[in-house]
Structure 1
Amino acid sequence: MQHKLLDMPCFSDNRGRFVKTFNDTAFQDQGINFRLKESYFSVSAKDVIRGMHFHLPPHDHDKVVFCPYGAILDVIVDLRSASPEYGKTYSQVLSAENNRAFFIPRGFAHGFKSLEEGSVTYYLVSGEYVASADEGIAFDSIGFDWACENPVLSDRDRNFLPFAAFRSPF
Structure 2
Amino acid sequence: MQFIKTNIPDVVIIEPKIFGDDRGYFFESFNQKVFEEHIGQINFIQDNESKSSKGVLRGLHFQKPPYTQSKLLRCIEGEVLDVAVDLRQDSPTYKQYLSVVLSGENKKQVFVPKGFAHGFLVLSETATIAYKVDEYYAPDYDSGIAWNDKEIAIDWGMNEAAIQLSGKDKELKPLVEIENPF
TM over 0.5: yes
- Report the CA distance between 1:19 and its aligned residue: 2.9
Structure-to-structure mapping, 1:59-70, within 5 angstroms: 59-70=67-78
**Secondary structure of the corresponding residue to residue 35 of structure 1:** coil
Is 1:16 aligned to 2:24, yes or no? yes
Mark the runs of 5 or more structure 2 residues left unpaired by the alignment: 1-8
Q: Which position in structure 2 is the counterpart of 1:159?
A: 171
Instruction: Look up the match of 1:147.
Output: 157
Which amino acid counterpart does residue 169 of structure 1 have in structure 2? P
Q: What is the aligned length?
A: 170
Are the equivalent residues in 2 in contact too, given 1:46–1:114 (CA < 8 A)? Answer: yes
Partners of 1:159 and 1:95 in 2: how far apart? 28
In structure 1, the partner of 2:4 is none
Partner of 2:64: 56
Give the Cα separation in 1 of the matches to 2:138 and 2:17: 32
* Whole-Å separation in 2 of the counterparts to 1:89 and 1:51: 13
What is the Cα deviation at residue 18 of structure 1? 2.2
TM-score, with structure 1 as normaliser: 0.95
Higher mean C-alpha deviation, range 47-56 or range 11-20: 11-20
Of stretches 115-124 and 2-11 in structure 1, the one that deviates more from structure 2 is 2-11
Residue 119 (structure 1) shift: 0.5
The correspondence of residues 27-38 of structure 1 with structure 2, limited to 5 A, is: 27-38=35-46
- Are the aligned partners of 1:9 and 1:99 in contact in 2 as well (CA < 8 Å)? no
Aligned equivalents of 2:106 and 2:16: distance in 1? 9
Q: Tell me the distance in 1 between the aligned counterparts of 2:15 and 2:140.
A: 33
Task: Give the TM-score normalised by structure 2.
Answer: 0.89
TM-fit CA distance, 1:65: 0.6
Q: List per-residue Cα deviations over 1:33-75 (Å, max 9, x = no partner).
A: 2211111111111111110001110000210011011110000
Displacement of 1:133: 1.1
Confirm or deny that 1:135 pairs with 2:147.
no
* Residue 108 (structure 1) aligns with: 116
Structure 1: segments with no counterpart, 5+ residues? none
Cα distance in 2 for partners of 1:26, 1:94 equals 21
% identity of equivalent residues:
37
Q: What value does the CA root-mean-square deviation take over the aligned residues?
A: 1.3
In the TM superposition, residue 21 of structure 1 has moved relative to its aligned partner by 1.8
8 Å CA contact retained: 1:49, 1:153:
yes
Q: Quick one: which amino acid aligns to residue 154 of structure 1?
A: S
